[in-house]
Amino acid sequence: MAQRYDHLRAKAIELRTKHQMTLDDIIERLALPRATVYYWIKDIPIPRTERQIQNSGQKLGTAAMQAKYAARREAAYQQGIEELPMLLQDVTFRDFVVLYMAEGSKRERNTVAFVNSDVRMVKLAHRWIHELTTNKEGLDYGIQYHADHDEAELKNFWAEVLGISPDVIKTMRKSNSGKLAGRQWRSEHGLLTVRVGDTYFRSRLEAWMDIIKSQW
């Protein structure tokens, strides 16, 4: 069996050394399994092509950019640590941080988002998110509602509560939206989301959550 592939192995090595072909090129040329060809040529270096050099440069550039933003996130985290004592002078700030631990979105490191149906909780979260973000123009509002709701009334209600225009509030009807009759209604005003894309605010918030949690 080994002798059957000897000429193919020799051909693969020739394509690698003389023609400087990549693994993918050799596989395509010889129509052989990747693992087989890789085993034959894995110890044979190939001079990098111009394209490969460019790709390598792009990878280095990407790594440098990632390191740059990581450093900025770390700086923002440190800023959060340093400014916490001042922020805690307002007792509602601690409430906001604890509330965010319980109800805020923690899935994305670039976003601060709070979702709730409780008017007082949303109002408190919105106050601090609006005050602390550097991306106020990026604040995004959305309501999830049921078929029984009046969409316009919901938008007007939350606009008045938060001091914003109803026009900036997006709406989305729940996919399982049912009728109000026959069930206990707990979201009279729908489910409101306050969201902002702000990586460094998110890093500062991470610091606040970590420190306050450590005090428990």
pLDDT tens digit string along 80-111? 999 999 999 999 999 999 999 999 998 888 99
73 φ, ψ (degrees, to nearest 5): -65, -40
- pLDDT tens for each residue of 131-144: 999 999 999 999 99
- Is the distance from CB of 210 to CB of 144 less than 8 angstroms? no
- Is the distance from CB of 57 to CB of 33 less than 8 angstroms? no
**Rounded to two decimals, what is the model's pTM?**
0.68
**pLDDT tens track, the chain, 216 positions:** 456 678 888 888 888 888 877 777 887 888 887 668 777 887 887 655 555 555 656 656 676 777 777 778 888 988 999 999 999 999 999 999 999 999 999 888 899 999 999 999 999 999 999 999 999 999 999 999 888 788 999 999 999 999 999 999 999 887 665 555 555 555 788 899 999 999 999 999 989 998 998 899
- The enclosing H or E element of 123 equals helix 119-132
Distance of CA 206 to the CA centre of its chain: 14
Cβ atoms within 10 Å of 203's Cβ, excluding its own:
20
- Is the distance from CB of 24 to CB of 46 less than 8 angstroms? no
Tell me the longest C-alpha to C-alpha distance in the chain: 82
Distance between CA atoms of residues 116 and 180, nearest Å: 19
Distance between CA atoms of residues 25 and 28, nearest Å: 5
Strand 140-145: give its sheet, edge to edge: 111-116, 191-197, 140-145, 169-173
Burial class (CB in 10 A: 0-12, 13-18, 19+), 183: exposed
Domains of the chain are 3-47 (no CATH), 80-214 (3.30.1330)
